[in-house]
Amino acid sequence: MKKSIMALSATLLLGGAVSAQKVAFEEYNLDNGLHVILQNDPSAPVVITSVMYHVGAKNEDPERTGFAHFFEHLLFEGTENIKRGEWFKIVTGNGGTNNANTTEDRTYYYEVFPSNNLELGLWMESERMLHPVINQIGVDTQNEVVKEEKRLRYDNSPYGQMIPEVKKKMFTNHPYRWTTIGSMDHLDAAKLEEFKDFNKKFYVPNNAVLVVAGDFNAAQTKEWIQKYFGDIKRGATIERETFVEQPITETIKAQFEDSNIQIPMVVAAYRTPSMKTRDARVLDFISTILSDGKSSRLYKKIVDDKKMALQIGAFSYSQEDYGTYILYGLPQAPSTAENLLTEIDAEIVKLQTELISDKELQKLQNKYENQYVNSNASIEGVADNLATYYMLYKDVNLINTEIDIYRTITPEEIRTVAKKYLNPNQRLVLDYVPSPDKAKK
């Protein structure tokens, strides 16, 4: 009884936190098409200025992959008014931090400053948009940086080729078939004018959203935004091609040899719908049921109870157009990759034929309520969410309402979605094995 009372109290407290967490914001457009979102939070004397551009790896020429990620680095090189190598010095010298990241669908830059440096943050982002210096020395410098990143994250990392191999097998037509890091050969072959053209096409106000979140005066902030961004010329309308993948109707079988590993891994990957769909959220629940934490079904059964695997996992690789649901496992001898896949399939069949319990459903909802609160617990999280919901979901208020989707997912939906997407004839099975010289050691 005591445990039940404590659980009820925790649920009520969490519900109160979620209710109190509602994010108030204001949004408008400049004449040049730049979308602006303001979120005022005076609870701490800090402010974030962030810009998200609707350009990612999927917007690249198949013969020039890696451009969007390359620009994540290149646009820190300097501007007409910020000397080369000075960007980070200016930020840190004024008590701030900054960063950027790229996905298949968008590129995101941000600075966090003490509130009294908001104007500086706005000026710097306007400089990045209006006056970037794209020259050969910058391209050559960042080319070496990206090559080192590729070696670290992909080429020399154990299992580092898993995602690239899954992507190229799961997508035959869509640009999701390559990674954001792209091809070093493509970057080496690119001329300076190609980088300038890419910048001119995509890093324009009508392809961007500016978010200011934190402690600021709204009227003054709007004046500064107009001052620094208002005169930037609108870019040409971007024509976006739609890529359609035919359904997978029979198992795709593949093998990849990795010289960085000694233990094989089995991978099962399924193509799933856009992250904007309700089914994608249900697949998030399914991923949590199967492999999130040591109490998850796969971990408890295959790792803890049967001692068949050293590691087991599953995750949804959510994207704007399509997603990929990936399951993986590292077998522990004498078990094999085939044994692991049999056990994984058995758990999927359970989800397809049996309803999860009310207790499991409540656990899922509590976990996602907690994630929701945490994602909006900092101005960095709020700014990222506001930009993402505008740019990729076309609904900024999802920052307040997406949790309602998760709250209303039912056991019946979980069963239906598992039946719809997670069948053997709809997947890739990748045997990710040590290269022969490693296997002998």
- Residue 158 pLDDT > 70, yes or no? yes
- The pLDDT confidence band at residue 295, using thresholds 50, 70 and 90, is confident
Strands (E), 161-236: 208-214
Question: Is 358 strand, coil or helix?
Answer: helix
Amino acid residing at 203: Y
- The pLDDT confidence band at residue 306, using thresholds 50, 70 and 90, is very high
Contacts of 346 (CB under 8 A, 6+ apart): none
- Residue 1 pLDDT > 80, yes or no? no
Pick left, alpha or beta for residue 103 (phi over 0 → left; psi -120 to 50 → alpha; otherwise beta): beta
Share of the chain above pLDDT 90, in %: 91
- The pLDDT confidence band at residue 9, using thresholds 50, 70 and 90, is very low
Average pLDDT of the chain, as a whole number: 93
Amino acid residing at 343: E
pTM above 0.85, yes or no: yes
Who has greater pLDDT, 17 or 267?
267
What pLDDT shows up at residue 438?
A: 56
What pLDDT shows up at residue 221?
A: 98
- The pLDDT confidence band at residue 314, using thresholds 50, 70 and 90, is confident
Over the stretch 231-261, which tens digit does the pLDDT of each residue have? Answer: 999 999 999 999 999 999 999 999 999 999 9
Over the stretch 277-287, which tens digit does the pLDDT of each residue have? Answer: 999 999 999 99
Angle, CA 21 vertex, CA 15 and CA 25 arms, to 5°: 150
Question: Is 433 strand, coil or helix?
Answer: strand
Query: Cα–Cα distance between 236 and 233 in angstroms, integer?
Result: 10
Query: Cα–Cα distance between 238 and 204 in angstroms, integer?
Result: 10
Over the stretch 386-425, which tens digit does the pLDDT of each residue have? Answer: 999 999 999 999 999 999 999 999 999 999 999 999 999 9
Q: Can the peptide bond before residue 132 be classed as cis, meaning omega within 30 degrees of 0?
A: no
Contacts of 388 (CB under 8 A, 6+ apart): 52, 106
Who has greater pLDDT, 401 or 291?
401
- Residue 17 pLDDT > 90, yes or no? no
Determine whether 253 is exposed, middle or buried from the number of CB atoms within 10 Å of its CB (0-12, 13-18, 19+): exposed
Query: Cα–Cα distance between 304 and 309 in angstroms, integer?
Result: 9
Angle, CA 190 vertex, CA 188 and CA 194 arms, to 5°: 155
- Residue 5 pLDDT > 60, yes or no? no
Burial string for 403-427 (b: 16+ CB within 10 Å, else e) reads beebeebebeebbebbeebbbeebb
Within 10 Å of residue 350's Cβ, how many Cβ atoms?
A: 15
What pLDDT shows up at residue 15?
A: 35
Determine whether 249 is exposed, middle or buried from the number of CB atoms within 10 Å of its CB (0-12, 13-18, 19+): exposed
What pLDDT shows up at residue 10?
A: 36
Q: Does residue 18 contact residue 187 with C-beta atoms inside 8 Å?
A: no
- Residue 441 pLDDT > 60, yes or no? no
Determine whether 343 is exposed, middle or buried from the number of CB atoms within 10 Å of its CB (0-12, 13-18, 19+): middle
- Residue 89 pLDDT > 50, yes or no? yes
Mind giving me the DSSP string for 107-173?
EEEEEEEEGGGHHHHHHHHHHHHH-B---HHHHHHHHHHHHHHHIIIIISSTTTTHHHHHHHHH-SS
What pLDDT shows up at residue 436?
A: 85
Mean pLDDT of 25-35: 98
CA 75 to chain centre: 20
- Residue 153 pLDDT > 50, yes or no? yes
- Residue 19 pLDDT > 50, yes or no? no
What pLDDT shows up at residue 7?
A: 34
Contacts of 219 (CB under 8 A, 6+ apart): none
Q: How do 208-214 and 46-53 pair as beta strands?
A: antiparallel
- Residue 181 pLDDT > 90, yes or no? yes
What pLDDT shows up at residue 24?
A: 97
